[in-house]
Amino acid sequence: MSTVTKIKKGLDIKMIGEAEKTIKDHVTDQFAIKPIDFIGVFPKMLVREGDLVKAGTPLFLDKYRDNIIFTSSVSGKVKEVKRGPKRILLEIKIEADGKEEAIDFKAENPEKLSREAVVKKLIDSGVWPFIRQRPYSVIANPSEKPKAIFISTFDTAPLAPDNDLIVHGHGETFQAGIDALRKLTEGKIHLNVDAKSTPSKVFTNTKGVEINAFSGPHPAGNIGVQINKISPINKGEVVWYLYPQDVLTIGRLFLTGTFDATRVIALTGSEVLRPAYYKTKIGASIEPLVKGNVTTVEKRYISGNVLTGAHIDLDSYIGFYHSQVTVIPEGNYHELFGWALPGFDKFSMSRSYPSFLFKNKKYRLDTNYHGGERAFVMTGEFEKVFPFDIYPLQLIKAIMVEDIDLMENLGIYEVDEEDFALCEVIDTSKTDIQQIVRKGLDLMRKEMS
């Protein structure tokens, strides 16, 4: 931790409902893998309803990159393959049988394996999809060699889980995961820690990585910001990234030989009566988790955090990449003269509501837009929460008019939709910016392939 990178621009949104730092067990036999969690993947089914699967049994693969397969996180029976409009694959539901059977991929020391053998093991077990790349935030291409691998060990989003708590006592597993990752790149592995707390020894004692410290408000924990500050992505370059729990999964694969999809998730949000951490497996149903543990108002269930998470139903499942479930009130109400009243309890980044005087106030925020959509009028707002050397408004406009050259010139390779989440929150014009950025990234990926 020789150098600390200070992030000055950003915003910590303080919300009610932080998880209590105890890890409980979440017991459920309902799981699902959701193909829509994977950007740019066109699923081709490998199992049918009624098939018996073990942890590590392939469920589907990507039609356009058939070396990327997705496997079951538990052992049991394929209960339902749920499709949506236009037969889009929504969920592959699996009912666990409790036997915890898993396919044996052989426990091996990654340091003694070749790159090819490591890649093969990761692919066969279905662990590969944890490794994603920038630009575009899609699953990494196994045949490419990234210029570096980035791991963000802390999350600065509202109510985000504390990774120090989650990895506590798993130092050996984490190191095994890192050892495997070191085979994948000739560049460095950057392990980015939070400068303001004392990071877990699991992180600081890891060997074979470069540790970088970051301080500042959200999005300091965003991988995109960290990449941008350490080694920004130029045209044609690829950087891989993943998160601590993904490294643990890789570590367990090499230590035990099985795809162990164990995940600790934080149940958070103002509408949760007893917010806490739960140990479960990837794709667990949230229903037993929230039953009897939430308020009675109309609620929004989010897999992930309030900035970037997915809107899910009560009978739905935790997303593949998520380690947080947030429950907040819906905002479908009319407010008389809401824009004209003083608004002492309103959350705003601008100082147009007096609530800015109470810096440490925690808010119970809902899903209301608080206004109608307008053309971009205000300027200089996004720059306050966007710690890149990039002009956010101009990039967004370039994407809206689909000007490929301009998008490239203004630095679209360096950003992801999550980096624009705060811009979207504070936008006076109420534009859905993340959607626009995603469109731009998809367009660039299509153009470049």
Partner 1 sequence: MKLLRDIIDKQKPHFSKGGKFEKLESTFDAFETFLFVPDKVTQSGAHIRDAIDMKRTMIIVVLALVPALLFGIWNVGLQHYISNGMTPDFWPMIGFGLLKVLPVIVVSYVVGLGIEFAFAQSRGHEVNEGFLVSGMLIPLVMPPDVPLWMVAVATAFAVIIGKEVFGGTGMNILNPALTARAFLFFAYPSEMSGDKVWIAEKADAYSGATPLGHLLVLDADKMPTDWSMFLGTIPGSIGETSTLAILLGAIILVATGIGSLRIMLSVIGGGLAMGLLFNLWGANVYMDIPAYQHLILGGFAFGTVFMATDPVSASQTNRGKLIYGFLIGFIAVLIRVFNPAYPEGMMLSILLMNVFAPLIDHYVLQSNIKKRLKRAKAVLA
Q: How far apart are CA 298 and CA 293, in angstroms?
A: 14
Decide if residue 428 touches partner 1 (CB under 8 A). yes
Q: How far apart are CA 386 and CA 391, in angstroms?
A: 9
Decide if residue 23 touches partner 1 (CB under 8 A). no
- Residue from 132, 152, 427, 444 binding partner 1 (CB under 8 A): 427
Site for partner 1 in 327-366 (CB under 8 A): 328, 330-340, 343, 346-353, 365-366
User: In the complex with partner 1, which residue's Cβ is closer, 8 or 21?
Assistant: 8
What is the smallest separation between the CB atom of 47 and partner 1, expressed in angstroms?
30
Residue type, 30: Q
Site for partner 1 in 293-332 (CB under 8 A): 300, 302, 306-309, 311, 326, 328, 330-332
Site string for partner 1, 145-164 (x = CB under 8 A): -------------x------
Single out the segment in contact with partner 1 by CB under 8 A; choices: 19-27, 69-77, 188-196, 373-381. 373-381
- Residue from 389, 402, 446, 448 binding partner 1 (CB under 8 A): 389
**Count of C-beta atoms within a 10 Å radius of residue 376:** 15
Single out the segment in contact with partner 1 by CB under 8 A; choices: 72-80, 84-92, 179-187, 418-426. 418-426
What is the smallest separation between the CB atom of 190 and partner 1, expressed in angstroms?
17
User: In the complex with partner 1, which residue's Cβ is closer, 42 or 356?
Assistant: 356
What is the smallest separation between the CB atom of 75 and partner 1, expressed in angstroms?
34
What is the smallest separation between the CB atom of 254 and partner 1, expressed in angstroms?
33
- Residue from 166, 421, 441, 444 binding partner 1 (CB under 8 A): 421
Q: How far apart are CA 150 and CA 240, in angstroms?
A: 6
User: In the complex with partner 1, which residue's Cβ is closer, 122 or 307?
Assistant: 307
Residue written as tokens 């800015």?
Answer: 356
Q: How far apart are CA 330 and CA 365, in angstroms?
A: 9
Structure tokens at 3: 């150098």
Decide if residue 401 touches partner 1 (CB under 8 A). no
Q: What are phi and psi of 177, to 5 degrees?
A: -60, -45
The secondary element (H helix, E strand) that includes residue 400 is: helix 392-400
Long-range interactions of 335-343: CB distance < 8 A, separation 24+:
335/368, 338/370, 339/371
Q: How far apart are CA 235 and CA 413, in angstroms?
A: 7
CB contact at 8 A, 254 and 66: no
Q: How far apart are CA 383 and CA 94, in angstroms?
A: 45
The secondary element (H helix, E strand) that includes residue 83 is: strand 76-83
Q: How many angstroms separate the most distant Cα atoms in the chain?
A: 68
What is the smallest separation between the CB atom of 436 and partner 1, expressed in angstroms?
9
- Residue from 50, 85, 292, 372 binding partner 1 (CB under 8 A): 372
Q: How far apart are CA 267 and CA 304, in angstroms?
A: 10
CB contact at 8 A, 268 and 159: yes
Decide if residue 390 touches partner 1 (CB under 8 A). yes
Site for partner 1 in 232-261 (CB under 8 A): 232, 234-237
- Residue from 2, 114, 379, 449 binding partner 1 (CB under 8 A): 379
- Residue from 367, 403, 404, 442 binding partner 1 (CB under 8 A): 367
CB contact at 8 A, 436 and 256: no
What is the smallest separation between the CB atom of 335 and partner 1, expressed in angstroms?
4
Decide if residue 412 touches partner 1 (CB under 8 A). no
DSSP 8-state symbol, 294 = B
What is the smallest separation between the CB atom of 218 and partner 1, expressed in angstroms?
12
